[in-house]
A and B are shown apart, each in its own frame.
Chain A
Amino acid sequence: MDFEAPPEHALIRSTASDIAEEYGPEYWREREQAGEFAADFWDELGDAGFHGLLIPEEYGGADMGLQEMGLAMETLCAEGCGMAGTWYLVVTAGMAAVALRESGTEAQKETYLPDIAAGDRIFSFAITEPEAGTNTLNVGTRADRDGDGFVLNGKKAWITFADRADDMILVTRTTPKEEVATPTQGLTLFLVDMDDPGIEVSPIEKHAINYSKSCEVFIEDVRVPAEAALGEVDEGWWHLVKTLNPERVGFAAAATGIAELAASKAVDYANEREVFDAPIGTHQAVSFPITEAYTGVETARLMRQKAAWLFDQGEDCGYEANVAKAAAVEAGIDAVYHAMQAFGGWGYATEYDIERWWREINLTRLAPVTQQMAYNHIATEMGFPRSY
């Protein structure tokens, strides 16, 4: 056992903090209210090398691991960016970069990875459909063989950044569920150019994180060459799974990071705000609920580090990533809830930001894996009968 962090962690934290200071709560309040994509923040992450964090050096990346990605995201979130610290990294720099790194052909890596590292390409990752949310294997988007290539047809829901993405990793079914031994077979991932005229995108109005759009995506007769398949045809599930643990680690980092941010603001406020001749923080009814949640945040952080460590060792980390994510969500939501309480009525004012972080952190119990599905996985590992 060794809890000593390598020296570069302090440097990553320092760079992430510098950026978060520049793009602090007020910046995000404005982007959120205007419903604007934060292009300057995206570019800044590119200049600082965050988009290339997980990409090998020969493709212009920093060749670091999921441990460092978790740290970078958590620090950005905690030092002022809120959810945006994970949101702007998780799809392209997290999932797409990992999918290409792990499953891409040499030609695919050369085409996409240097651009991702430089911040010049935005990806969407399209898994969810109206009839396939928690039940991913129910994917109905089809890829039919057509000469040398495939023709894609279907409908996706909630696809983040689809309104502006250059490319999309699309989860399709190449062999119908009825014709395969288990439903995990017969899926294929494709790299799809979003400029294709057969793709239409329609944003879904949503509760928070409005500095990005999540969209319905309609795919009609989109023709792609065989080389657009990412990983082997019909084996897509196994390539997809490699990206889901980084995604969970990313959302675990978001939950602990937002909780850290909200708790630190609440601590400041509880020291300053005097009611009945004493700072409100002297009342344990104010301090203890936040403190109790915070102990959970601290432990969830450790579990995330374990999951990321396993991932970086090339070991199985599904169980640990689910535990880390579920624990971070539980503790994080609790921490922000009680941090908001400490602000009293001012917790409801947009200018104090707490209400925004509250809206933001609530996504983590719904996506990318719902809290129940995370518990389903953990419960099955514990020995309960499988419920899905």
Chain B
Amino acid sequence: MKVLVTVKEVANVADDFEIEGLTIPEQFLEYDLNEWDDYAVEAAVQIAEDRDEDVEVVAVTVGPERSEETVRMALAKGVDRAVRVWDDTLAEAALVGPTAMARVLAAVAEAEDPDLVLSGVQAADDGFGATGVALAEHLEYAWAAVVNDLELDDETASVRRELEGGVEELTSVPLPAVLTIQTGINDPRYASLRGIRQAQRKELDVRTLADLGLDPAVLDDDLTLTGLARPESESDATLFEGSAADTADDLETVLRDAGVSAE
């Protein structure tokens, strides 16, 4: 059996940050393995540990060289080998939406021919929550989204899905399938030092779009990034300091400015 896990390095934004055009400058960003993907990696490694047959777990990521750190983390946790896709076309793209990303991942999946693909429900940074399902569509695999429990036999994945309002659904999905994994499905391990050591020897293949037989046009998408803004905060609080007389004056000004008056 082969399990493919999609992993993404996500950017966490500092409390105080600035926006420059369509990007947030590097100095405000810190990178980490996407939380949902951590659960997907754990689910995949547990499958490999629990099943009698040989299970190969392959991680795939689309990201720059820096993202190898998060891929190595997955390798250190027990993933067998990894593929990282990157080239100038990807580096220069302002936005790779879920459909385009799914096309890239699908090319890797087609080459790997896995029985099961696990992805996180969503990425913590752009939060589309659609990549896994779009990937299933491209591969024409069965799928289930927001999976918080998983049991596997040779032909089916029996899953529990989290729906709105605390409702859960039990479904059987025929393999091959794509499942998007919800946080809480398991208790992700940390990388042991022996695992970290072994990860140094594991294969980490770097491929370009051309290596995967993809044309740069694969990234063309109806989705474009047009602007980046901080959301207006809805509850701005103003604190008046000083004597009662001063703060009463301050309040009067605010009320007048807001159009409240005695007349």
Contacts and interface: CB of A to CB of B under 8 A. Distances in A.
A62 B194 contact: yes
B194 A11 contact: no
A47 B192 contact: yes
A8 interface: yes
Nearest to B195: A49
Contact of A62 (B69, B72, B190, B193): B193
A8 B190 contact: no
Contact of B193 (A7, A12, A18): A12
B192 A15 contact: yes
Contacts of B194: 49, 52, 57, 60-62
Contacts of B76: 8, 11
Contacts of A180: none
Contacts of A64: 193, 197
A62 B198 CA distance: 8
Interface centre among A11, A12, A62, A68 (most CB of B within 10 A): A11
B35 interface: no
Interface centre among B69, B72, B196, B199 (most CB of A within 10 A): B196
Contacts of A48: 190, 192-193
Interface centre among B68, B73, B197 (most CB of A within 10 A): B197
Contacts of B196: 8, 11-12, 15, 49, 62
Interface in B199-255: 199-200
Interface in A40-69: 47-50, 52-53, 57, 60-64, 68
Contacts of A18: 190
B68 A7 contact: yes
Contacts of A50: 193
A15 B193 contact: yes
Interface residues of B, number: 15
A10 interface: yes
A135 interface: no
Contacts of A111: none
Interface string B60-80: 000000001100110010000
Interface in B151-199: 190-197, 199
B113 to A, nearest CB: 29
B195 A8 contact: no
Interface string A315-345: 0000000000000000000000000000000
A14 interface: yes
A159 B251 CA distance: 69
Contacts of B190: 14-15, 18-19, 48
A14 B200 CA distance: 16
A14 B193 contact: no
Contact of B199 (A8, A53, A60): A8
Contacts of A12: 193, 196
B237 to A, nearest CB: 18
A52 B196 CA distance: 12
Contacts of A60: 194
A19 B190 CA distance: 9
Nearest to B68: A7
Given A19-B190, A48-B190, A14 B195 contact: no
A131 to B, nearest CB: 40
A62 B196 CA distance: 8
Contacts of B72: 7-8, 11
A14 B197 contact: no
Interface string B91-106: 0000000000000000
Interface in A63-115: 63-64, 68, 72
A18 B200 CA distance: 21
Nearest to A72: B193
A61 B72 CA distance: 19
A52 B191 CA distance: 14
A338 to B, nearest CB: 26
Interface centre among A12, A48, A64 (most CB of B within 10 A): A48
A8 B196 CA distance: 6
A50 B195 CA distance: 11
Contacts of B195: 49
A51 to B, nearest CB: 9
A7 B84 CA distance: 16
A8 B72 CA distance: 8
A17 B192 CA distance: 12
Contacts of A62: 192-194, 196-197
Given A8-B76, A11-B73, A62-B194, 20 more contacts: A7-B69, A8-B72, A10-B69, A11-B69, A11-B196, A12-B193, A14-B73, A15-B190, A15-B191, A15-B193, A18-B190, A48-B190, A48-B192, A49-B192, A49-B194, A49-B195, A52-B194, A62-B193, A64-B193, A72-B193
21 contacts: A7-B68, A8-B76, A8-B199, A10-B69, A11-B69, A11-B73, A11-B191, A11-B199, A12-B193, A15-B190, A15-B191, A15-B192, A15-B196, A49-B192, A49-B193, A49-B195, A49-B196, A52-B193, A60-B194, A62-B196, A62-B197
Interface of A: 7-8, 10-12, 14-15, 18-19, 47-50, 52-53, 57, 60-64, 68, 72
Q: Can you list the 8 inter-chain pairs with the closest CB atoms, starting with the nearest?
A: A49-B193, A62-B193, A49-B192, A62-B197, A18-B190, A49-B194, A15-B190, A11-B196
